[in-house]
């Protein structure tokens, strides 16, 4: 079956630190991969996506590369800000019609000044 | 415009009340979703509508009743809820059909059942 595994949080970093949140997946076929971010009290926002192997998704300084050989889609940012404090969800879509997204459990990030 | 709107933002209801949550999108998406999210958990899928027809019901209790009046609107009718149904209810939409299922989420309705 399809599944997503994220590193357990919470992750606490100082401002301007480097961020990595690990995500690995199990899927049949060639899924699309996503990172969503949820700020306190809000819904989920699509942060970035990649639809095929070796694609790099990027947005707001965040990046993730679709690595088929390691079945990974790790999220990185070179210099985090306090405003990046949120919960980050890795997700996959099996690319077969309206098959629902499969979410990881989420990683809470706290950035301190 | 990638906006999905939801009303109300907050809702408090008693166990004998009937209420409805509303969701709207104007992106021309043909798939719409209801999720339930408890604190510190990922969203859990409840229902999927594809081309205005219910395509997935994840064994949700009948006290939750979805409705899709047209391709832009999605409702969730609530009746005789339990306190454990208190959660954030999220609506999402996607293009539908084959291919990448990139979903766009609304801000959610925070529901409290007393």
pLDDT 10s digits, B24-75: 999 999 999 999 999 989 999 999 999 999 988 889 999 999 999 999 999 9
Min Cα separation A113/chain B (Å): 24
Sign of CA dihedral B48, B87, A46, A101: negative
Spatial separation of the C-alpha atoms in residues A24 and A55, rounded to whole Å: 15
Confidence of residue A94 (pLDDT cuts 50, 70, 90): confident
Spatial separation of the C-alpha atoms in residues A27 and A52, rounded to whole Å: 13
- Interchain contact, A104 vs B42, CB within 8 Å: yes
- CB contacts of A4 in chain B (<8 Å) are none
Average pLDDT of chain A is 93
Min Cα separation A7/chain B (Å): 14
* Measured torsion, CA atoms of residues B65, B5, A33, A12, in degrees rounded to the nearest 10: -110
Place of tokens 């300084």: A61
- CB contacts of A96 in chain B (<8 Å) are 98
For residue B39, the model assigns a pLDDT of 92
CB proximity A29 to B under 8 Å:
no
Mutate: best of B43, B54, B87, B104, partner A, most A CBs <10 A: B43
For residue A80, the model assigns a pLDDT of 97
For residue B100, the model assigns a pLDDT of 58
- CB contacts of A36 in chain B (<8 Å) are 105
For B107, which DSSP code? -
CB A49 within 8 A of CB B100: yes
Cα A10 to chain centroid, rounded: 14
Does position A104 have pLDDT exceeding 70, yes or no? yes
- What are A61-70's pLDDT values in tens digits? 999 999 999 9
Does position B21 have pLDDT exceeding 80, yes or no? yes
For residue B2, the model assigns a pLDDT of 67
Spatial separation of the C-alpha atoms in residues B4 and B109, rounded to whole Å: 12
Spatial separation of the C-alpha atoms in residues B10 and A59, rounded to whole Å: 30
Q: In terms of CA atoms, which chain A residue is nearest residue B108?
A: A43
- CB contacts of A98 in chain B (<8 Å) are 31, 48, 50, 55-56, 94, 96-97, 101
Does position B99 have pLDDT exceeding 80, yes or no? no
Spatial separation of the C-alpha atoms in residues A107 and A85, rounded to whole Å: 10
The neighbour count for residue B88, using CB atoms within 10 Å, is: 20
Burial of B39 (0-12, 13-18, 19+ CB in 10 A): exposed
Burial A41-58 (b: 16+ CB within 10 A, else e): eebbbbbbbbbeeebebe
What is the mean pLDDT of the segment spanning B75-87? 96
Q: What tokens were used for B7?
A: 């009303």
Residues 6+ apart with CB under 8 A from B79: B17, B18, B63, B65
Sign of CA dihedral B85, B86, B88, B91: positive
Cα A110 to chain centroid, rounded: 15
A·B CB contacts under 8 A: 69
């Amino acid at each position: 079956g399809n599944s997503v595994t994220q590193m357990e949080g919470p992750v606490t970093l100082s401002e301007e630190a480097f961020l990595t949140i690990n995500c690995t997946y199990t899927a049949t076929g060639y899924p699309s991969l996503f990172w969503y971010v949820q700020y306190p009290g809000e819904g989920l926002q699509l942060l970035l996506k990649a639809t095929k192997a070796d694609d790099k998704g990027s947005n707001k300084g965040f990046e993730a590369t679709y690595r088929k050989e390691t079945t990974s889609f790790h999220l990185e940012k070179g210099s985090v800000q306090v405003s990046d404090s949120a919960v980050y969800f890795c997700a996959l879509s099996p690319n077969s019609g309206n098959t629902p997204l499969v979410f990881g459990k989420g990683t809470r990030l706290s950035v301190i000044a | 415009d990638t906006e999905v709107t939801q009303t109300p933002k907050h809702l408090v209801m008693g166990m004998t009340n009937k209420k409805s949550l509303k969701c709207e999108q104007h992106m021309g998406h043909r798939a719409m979703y209801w999720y339930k999210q408890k604190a510190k958990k990922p969203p859990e899928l409840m229902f999927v509508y594809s081309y205005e027809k219910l395509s997935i019901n994840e064994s949700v209790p009948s006290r939750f009743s979805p409705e899709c009046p047209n391709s832009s609107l999605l409702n969730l009718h609530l009746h005789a809820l339990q306190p454990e149904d208190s959660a954030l209810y999220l609506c999402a939409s996607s293009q539908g059909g084959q291919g990448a299922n990139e979903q766009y989420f609304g801000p959610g309705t925070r529901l409290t059942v007393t």
